[in-house]
Amino acid sequence: MADHRDDFIIAIRYALLKKGAKQKFSLFFLILLSISIITLDKFEFSFMSPVRATLNDIVYHISVASAQPEKLRRSLVQKTKQHYYILNENKFLKKEMEFLKKQKFNNAFLLSENQALKKALDFSATKSFEREFSINAKVILDQRSPYLKSILINKGTNSGVKKGMTVFSSDYLMGTVIETNFISSRVLLLSDLNSKLPVFLSESSTNAILEGTGKKNKLRLNYLPETFIIEPNVIIFTSGKGGYLTPGIPVAISYLGKKNNILIKLLGDPDQALYVNVTNGQINQ
């Protein structure tokens, strides 16, 4: 028994300390180095922040270059699909245009009525959707990871991007900046497990928290009233609770799933976002 234990200890010690013919570092040294880096990163020493930011900038840009072949393949497949889709869509749009022409007059009336009501409530459109600050950025990497659903953008602290800023794509809310480097930043998408957003549901004006589950078309609404049953095609808006987001930004919509269950999907597709607007919480119009 004792011999067996000694053999085990000798084998482990040998594995830890013995360097191979061409090995420059022993496992023991590298394991200690890893633990030191984790500890330094955890306790956020002042010198770690620029080190990490520089490392991230370098790694992200090499990562973008390595993702180019896959990007090209994806774009070719997408363009082929798009071609056939556009053909069908064209037919459909012609019909829809006819219908919309008729609706246009009705909408003009509703718009003027809405403006008059907002004026009466002192809640004008220009006030709520005022653009205070906006940075246009390009999505440089949207690698899917089982851990974080995030994208990388090509603007960082040198362009004024700060942690906590809100990111929009085509006027739809995409997520929040969670990490800033000098020339790049990481945006946590609304679909991520760590994303939680105060929202209200149109029509019923019920408040809830929209949580990510890792899938863009399977989000979760928490803290709804106990008896509340959500219906399909309900648009979900930001409630503005918490203070940093303007209320009334459309975020998601409920829909009927394949098993006749109600699911929630994002209005903006994070996979399709090429350019985004980074703002301090106001929608970019």
163: Cβ–Cβ under 8 A, 6 or more apart, which residues? 177, 178, 179, 180
**Closest listed residue to residue 168, CA positions, set 73, 267, 51:** 267
Which of these segments, 60-68, 97-105, 124-132, 223-231, binds another protein (CB under 8 A)?
Answer: 60-68
30 binds another protein (CB under 8 A): yes
Closest CB to another protein among residues 150, 239: 150
15 binds another protein (CB under 8 A): yes
What backbone phi and psi angles, to 5 degrees, belong to 48?
A: -75, -30
Report strand pairing: 235-238 vs 196-201: antiparallel
**Closest listed residue to residue 28, CA positions, set 42, 40, 41, 14:** 14
Q: Of these, 5, 22, 101, 259, which contacts another protein (CB under 8 A)?
A: 22
Q: Mask of contacts with another protein, 164-183, x by CB under 8 A?
A: --------------xx----
Query: Count residues contacting another protein (CB under 8 A)?
Result: 46
Closest CB to another protein among residues 190, 249: 190
145 binds another protein (CB under 8 A): yes
Tell me, rounded to whole angstroms, the distance of Cα 48 from its chain centroid.
26
Q: What is the footprint of another protein within residues 220-279 (CB under 8 A)?
A: none
Q: Of these, 6, 9, 41, 158, which contacts another protein (CB under 8 A)?
A: 41
63 binds another protein (CB under 8 A): yes
121 binds another protein (CB under 8 A): no
Distance (Å) of CA 68 to CA 20, 58, 64, 205: 36, 16, 7, 45
Report strand pairing: 262-266 vs 250-256: antiparallel
Instruction: Specify the 3-state DSSP secondary structure of 202.
Output: coil
Q: What is the footprint of another protein within residues 68-107 (CB under 8 A)?
A: 70
Strand ranges in 74-206 using DSSP code E only, listed in sequence order: 134-141, 150-153, 166-169, 172-180, 185-189, 196-201
Residues that bind another protein (CB under 8 A): 11-12, 14-16, 20-27, 30-31, 33-38, 41-42, 52, 55-56, 59-60, 62-63, 66-67, 70, 143-148, 150, 178-179, 186, 193-194, 214
